[in-house]
Chain A
Amino acid sequence: MNKISFNYSKLLLPGILLAILVVLATLPLYGSNYSIVLLTSIIMYVILTVSWALFSGSTGYISLATAAFFGVGIYTSAILGRTFTASILANEYFVVFIVIIGGLISACLAFIVGAITLRLRGIYFAIFTFGLVELIKNLLLWYEVKFTGTRGRFVVVIGNETIYYVILGILLLLLLVTYFIRRSRYGLALESIGEHEEAAAHIGINVTMVKVIIFAISAVFVGMTGSIMAMRWTYIDPYISFDPNLTFLPVLMAIFGGTRQMYGPIIGAVVFAYLEEILLTRFPYYYMLIFGIVLAATILYLPNGLVGVVQKIIARLAGGKHAHSRG
């Protein structure tokens, strides 16, 4: 593989991304009303998946805490939404404010969790983070029942377009942050942690700090998404907010897409979420069966995830010669 093709393939990707973003940003002008609703949920999955892959994809620490950060965002939104009066909430900047607060609180949680748990390795870290979701959920449930005497909360309702633009903004921010982290020394540090943690420590990387900071950064976006999605769902309770599906799906989507490249999780999430939408509406009684078969067949026959397929296509497009060297 020579140097030139490396450079251009790097140009190609941002180009496509930019074009897609332009289309997405102008969509409410001409798209159908439902396309915004559908895209909001697809983008939600993309954000969850990409921010999962930002930390877990490169370090190899499988975090199952996505739902915890998401749920914290949701509850921030629900509690803040209650605190302020409706007139303030009509202001769209205030929505952004709530979303940012949601992200920051999630980041704090991630910081604490990261600091105490990142010495756990491999599957232990995964199980611990999963336990964290359940712990927060049950503790919150107990608290709500015992002290507030309710279980669910109503969240302030805002227009679909506002939600769409906010979530698109979060996506854009996330992609930029991911891109720059991957290129910065933090990205390299993460890669080396993923490959060999002791070696990374020996060459002078502050392993713990890097891990905790990236973990917190990835949580910011998840929390922000949670805050904004709460406003779409209008009614939330601990079971809705800390749904284990929200931890498992991003992992599935990322591995489905392939975690090596930045665009792998994006492709995985988009294809996965759209497939789900089609199955739920077209074949509701066989949704899980078809989904399961597709998932199983993909894992068995496309070992590199969807990225493997995409890479082959790109290689073919860019001249057949290199098709095999990338495969």
Chain B
Amino acid sequence: MLTSILDVLIAGLLLGGLYALIAMGLSLQYGVARVFNISHGEFIMLGGMATLTLFTVFKINPLIAIVICGPITFVLGYIIHRTFFRHLLTSLPIFGEITILCTLFLWTVFRILADYNYVRLNQFAALAICLVIAIILDFALNRTAFRRIHESRVAAGVFESTSMLFSFGLMFIIKNIAFIGWGPSIRSYSFLQQPVSIAGALFGMNRLVTLGFSILIGLAFYFFLTRTRIGKAIRAAASDPTVAQLMGVNINQVLALCFGLGAAMAGIAGVLISMCYPVNANMGIEYTIIAIIVVALGGLGSIPGSFIGGFALGIIGSIVSFFEPGLALVAYYFIFGLLLLIRPKGILGK
């Protein structure tokens, strides 16, 4: 009996660790950068698929892949916020966004033409040509049409809806690129799949490693927020962007940083997920949904809340699965709905 209680609790913690990590990323993006990022799961997918490729093709240990995927997704998120979301926030077109969109578009056109055998060109050469055309166009537009547009900060509510809509577009784009690159097939690899016994209860080594890393990253992030200068700037920006800006915080920089960090957490979560579960180019949306639930459960924008919410959801799921696996998801949504009704701002919401 004691063993099975322990069993259930630890299984919940193991699942909860992953949930917490996923949710913290989204919480950061929503709480500070005010982007309700529907494409959050796609960064998880990118992390997972990249790890798989690194492991199977280049034989790189998934734990080392954390160090590779984390920074890459960070840079990706940072660039995306620095260009697109900043444009949405200030209604000022920014050099780079046309380059990205136009490169993608021209590349798509090229792929379609290549499919019909109208053009025969090396992939990389085509990409380079697309990039050059896009940069020239971007430069020209910034010199002419965009010069007349002046910066004007949009209202928070407007930004929330446009940024959410934009993240939808982003989700489609990232997913389709992943489909082209990796194909839709399900894949997994074996890593550390050996049993470990904790007081009579058996667990996979890889899951324990996952839990360890989630807690480690959660704690590291907490200290980063509370002990460093940038962390203070982030917290200031979260509580009041305008005042923070008046106090000398480079708000655009901080918001982009937060978005990037959120993306990096998603990427790392993807790496950890790929150690335990199969991955495919289509997996993003289900993790986005889990992240949304956990974030709402813990209180929107509250990072410790997301951390606790993740573990709470994991344990609830584990307890219910023990009795009736068919009702685990029902329980998630029921508890979540109930909590929202009783405490509309979540566990740690203000």
Are A116 and B341 in contact, with the CB atoms below 8 A?
yes
Are B166 and A299 in contact, with the CB atoms below 8 A?
yes
Q: Is B169 engaged at the interface, CB distance under 8 Å to the other chain?
A: yes
Docked CA distance A283–B114 (Å): 13
Most buried by B among A119, A132, A139, A292: A292
Docked CA distance A299–B108 (Å): 20
Q: Which residues of B contact A293 (CB under 8 A)?
A: 101, 104-105, 108, 169, 173
Q: Is A14 engaged at the interface, CB distance under 8 Å to the other chain?
A: no
Most buried by A among B160, B169, B285: B169
CB distance from A136 to the nearest CB of B (A): 9
Of the candidates A120, A128, A292, the one whose C-beta lies within 8 Å of that of B176 is A292
Are B108 and A124 in contact, with the CB atoms below 8 A?
no
Q: Is B212 engaged at the interface, CB distance under 8 Å to the other chain?
A: no
Q: Is B293 engaged at the interface, CB distance under 8 Å to the other chain?
A: yes
CB distance from B3 to the nearest CB of A (A): 28
Of the candidates A127, A142, A286, the one whose C-beta lies within 8 Å of that of B330 is A142
Are B91 and A288 in contact, with the CB atoms below 8 A?
no
Of the candidates B108, B157, B166, B296, the one whose C-beta lies within 8 Å of that of A296 is B166
CB distance from B348 to the nearest CB of A (A): 14
Are B162 and A299 in contact, with the CB atoms below 8 A?
yes
Docked CA distance A62–B330 (Å): 23
Q: Which residues of B contact A121 (CB under 8 A)?
A: 344
Are B108 and A131 in contact, with the CB atoms below 8 A?
no
Which partner residue on chain A sits nearest B300 by CB separation? Answer: A123
Of the candidates A135, A139, A290, the one whose C-beta lies within 8 Å of that of B108 is A290
Q: Is A61 engaged at the interface, CB distance under 8 Å to the other chain?
A: no
Q: Which residues of A contact B170 (CB under 8 A)?
A: 292, 296
CB distance from B33 to the nearest CB of A (A): 14
Q: Among residues 160 to 180 in chain A, which have CB atoms less than 8 Å away from a CB atom of chain B?
A: none
Are A300 and B172 in contact, with the CB atoms below 8 A?
no
Q: Which residues of B contact A116 (CB under 8 A)?
A: 341
Are A119 and B344 in contact, with the CB atoms below 8 A?
yes
Q: Which residues of A contact B340 (CB under 8 A)?
A: 117, 120, 124, 127-128, 131
What number of A-B contacts does a CB cutoff of 8 Å give?
A: 128
Are B87 and A300 in contact, with the CB atoms below 8 A?
yes
Which partner residue on chain A sits nearest B178 by CB separation? Answer: A288
Q: Is B337 engaged at the interface, CB distance under 8 Å to the other chain?
A: yes
CB distance from B332 to the nearest CB of A (A): 8
Q: Is B72 engaged at the interface, CB distance under 8 Å to the other chain?
A: no
Docked CA distance A120–B173 (Å): 33
Q: Which residues of A contact B157 (CB under 8 A)?
A: 60
CB distance from B187 to the nearest CB of A (A): 20
Are B344 and A124 in contact, with the CB atoms below 8 A?
yes
1/0 contact trace for A117-150 toward B, CB 8 Å?
1011101100110111011001101100110000
Are A289 and B177 in contact, with the CB atoms below 8 A?
yes
The 10 A-B residue pairs whose C-beta atoms are closest, nearest first, are A292-B172, A295-B169, A292-B173, A135-B333, A288-B176, A296-B169, A289-B176, A288-B172, A138-B329, A127-B296
Contacts A123-B296, A256-B165 known; list 13 others, CB within 8 Å.
A127-B293, A127-B296, A127-B340, A135-B337, A138-B330, A146-B326, A286-B111, A286-B176, A287-B176, A288-B172, A289-B176, A292-B172, A295-B169
Q: Which residues of A pack against B, CB within 8 Å?
A: 60, 62, 116-117, 119-121, 123-124, 127-128, 130-132, 134-135, 138-139, 141-142, 145-146, 244, 248, 252, 255-256, 283, 285-297, 299-300, 303
Residue pairs across A and B with Cβ atoms less than 8 A apart, 14 shown, are A60-B157, A120-B341, A127-B296, A131-B340, A135-B330, A138-B327, A248-B168, A285-B111, A285-B115, A288-B173, A289-B104, A292-B173, A293-B105, A293-B173
